[in-house]
Amino acid sequence: MRTPTETPRPWHSGAWSVWALAAAACVQLAPSPVYVALVIAVAWLVVEAHAADGPYRHAFPALLGLGVAFAFIRVLIAALTTHNGLEVWFTLPQTTVPDVLGGFTLGGTVEATVVLQSLASGFTIVGMMAVFGAFNAVASHYELVQSSPRAFHELGLITTVALAFVPATIESAHTASESDRARTGGLVVRRGRLLRTLVPVLERGMERAIALSESMDARGFGATPAARTDRVAGWFGLGALLALGGAFVALIGRASPTAAALGFVGAALLVAAVALASRADRRPRYRLRRMEGADWVLAAVSVLAPLALGLCSVAGADSLVWRASPLAWPSFDPLVALALAPLLAPLLRVPDPLWRRRTAIVAVFRRQNSGGVVA
């Protein structure tokens, strides 16, 4: 019987990427705390439905926590350094930092508007983190690397080799640390311990890399001479960068339309370059999981959300952005909430709950936690 450790997930990782970008755009377009809270709720639902048990599942709460930490610090700094004199809550003793360090005033009045405004913008950061935390928890990184354009074949390979080596490196580190203890009869001698544990792990890794390189050479991997398409692609890439540079220069010169045009030209050249370089390598990939019709539909539906929000803002919906002064509760517009609804699309196809409990990654981590080799 085949015990699948990773049955194909319902959605392709490419579709997930589009979803994540759309959700992030929504957070940017509707930064009012009410709507950001909605997006965070959507992200949480998606994680609950789709995340497999394993080390990536905790990406969501981890990134969320990170966002909260950032936001907290921001609020603190803003409250302590911004003084507009309105709606003062309380006053702290103040000191002025010397000019060389910025010359701002620390302490002093702590104002409601400042605190609340920075809370709101901190909340958008939390929202962003929630979106990308969800993405990391539900998408298959392996699939992402595998689906990347053929032009980045070697870079993708470096990433897969690195990921393949991660468990071995962790185990190597455990063994090295234990061997160091064994050497001195169970005592931990702190002096020089860093070197004594780091060097064996590094050396072992390098030796394994050499062994792997021999295995790769023997299996047909190697440098190939540049085809003509590769060279053309290379010049396109350079052209793209020059166009982008030109766009920046145009921006400085306050010629926005030129800048936008150059920007598009740059992006187009880059896409062409990637396409050309990918075509130069005609070798097909093994069992590549392509984006199916359903995946494209999910991507399209996800993009509807930020587009709808854009329409709302053009139509003059006020509730999208919230300001702390004058002090008022953020308003809730059901139409805007409806515009966010397409982000719920991934919930339409949910994986088999039994699969979620069996993943190879769990097994690997369990093996690590069992204290290494059991023999």
Partner 1 sequence: MTTAATLRRPRAHRTRPTLVYVLMLVLGAAAFLYPFWIPAEALPDAAHAGDAPLIAALVGGLVVVAVALEVRRGTMNGATVALLGVLAANAGLLRLLSLPGRGSGIFFLVILAGAAFGPRFGLLLGFSSMAVSAVITGGIGPWLPFQMLGLAAMGAGAGAVGLLTVHLTPRAEVLALAAAGWVFGLAYGALMNLWFWPFQRDGGALSWTPGMGLGTTLRHYWSFYVAQSFAWDAGVAIGNAVLILLTGAVILRTLRRFAHRLEPVVELDPLPEAPSRSHALRA
Partner 2 sequence: MSAIGYRGVSYGYPDGPLALDGVDLDVHAGEILLVVGSSGSGKSTLLRAANGIVPHSTGGRFGGDVTVFGRSTRTHLPRELADVIGFVHQDPEAQFVVDRVEADVAFVLENLGHAPDAMRRRVEEVLDALGIAHLRDRNPATLSGGERQRGAIAGALAAAPSALVLDEPTSQLDPQGAESVLAAIARLNADLGTTVLLAEHRLERAAPLADRALVVDRGTVRYGPTAAGPALADYPGAPSVTRLGRLLGWDPPPLTVRDARRLAAEPGRAPMPTFAESEPSAPNPATGALATNEPARAAPGEVLVAARQVEVTLARTTVLRGVDLEVRRGEVVALLGRNGSGKTTLLRALAGLRTVDRGTVRPKAAVAYVPQDPNSLLFAPTVREEVAQTVRLLGRTDDGAVAAWIDALGLHDLASRHPRSLSGGERPRVAIAAVAVGGAPVLLLDEPTRGMDAASRHVLEGAAAGHATRGGAVVLATHDVELAARCATRAVVLADGEVVADGPARTVLGGSLFAPQVLRVLPPFLTVDEVDAAMERS
- Of the two residues 84 and 331, which places its CB atom closer to partner 1 in the complex? 84
**Residues from 36 through 95 that contact partner 1 (CB under 8 A):** 55-56, 58-59, 62-63, 70, 73-74, 77-78, 81-84
Least distance from partner 1 to the Cβ atom of residue 366, Å: 17
Least distance from partner 2 to the Cβ atom of residue 296, Å: 21
Residues 108, 110, 116, CA angle at the centre, nearest 5°?
155
Least distance from partner 2 to the Cβ atom of residue 136, Å: 17
Q: Please identify which residue in 91, 179, 184, 256 interacts with partner 1, judged by CB under 8 A.
A: 256
- Of the two residues 137 and 298, which places its CB atom closer to partner 1 in the complex? 137
**Quick one: which H or E segment has residue 95?**
strand 88-96
Residue 248 touching partner 1 (CB under 8 A): yes
- Residues sharing a CB contact under 8 Å with residue 4, sequence separation 6 or more, in sequence order: 355, 358
**Region near partner 1 per CB under 8 A, out of 174-182, 259-267, 285-293, 348-356:** 259-267
**Residues from 292 through 331 that contact partner 1 (CB under 8 A):** 313, 320-321
Go through 249-258 and write b for each residue having 16 or more CB atoms within 10 A of its CB, e for each that does not: ebeeeeeeee
- Of the two residues 235 and 332, which places its CB atom closer to partner 1 in the complex? 235
Residue 14 touching partner 1 (CB under 8 A): no
Tokens 């993009």 sit at which residue?
303
Given partner 1, partner 2, none, residue 363, with its beta carbon under 5 to 8 Å by kind, binds partner 2
Residues in touch with partner 2 (CB under 8 A): 1-6, 142, 146, 157, 160-161, 163-164, 167-168, 172, 175-176, 178-187, 189, 191-192, 195-196, 199-200, 203-204, 207-209, 211-222, 282-287, 360-361, 363-364, 366-367, 369-371, 373-375
Do the beta carbons of residue 138 and residue 46 sit within 8 Å? yes
- Look up residue 285 and give its DSSP letter: P
Residue 277 touching partner 1 (CB under 8 A): yes
- Look up residue 111 and give its DSSP letter: E
Go through 137-166 and write b for each residue having 16 or more CB atoms within 10 A of its CB, e for each that does not: bbbbeebbbbbbebbeeeebeebeeeeeee
For residue 7, give both structure tokens.
């049955």
Up-side HSE of residue 48: CA atoms within 13 Å toward CB? 8
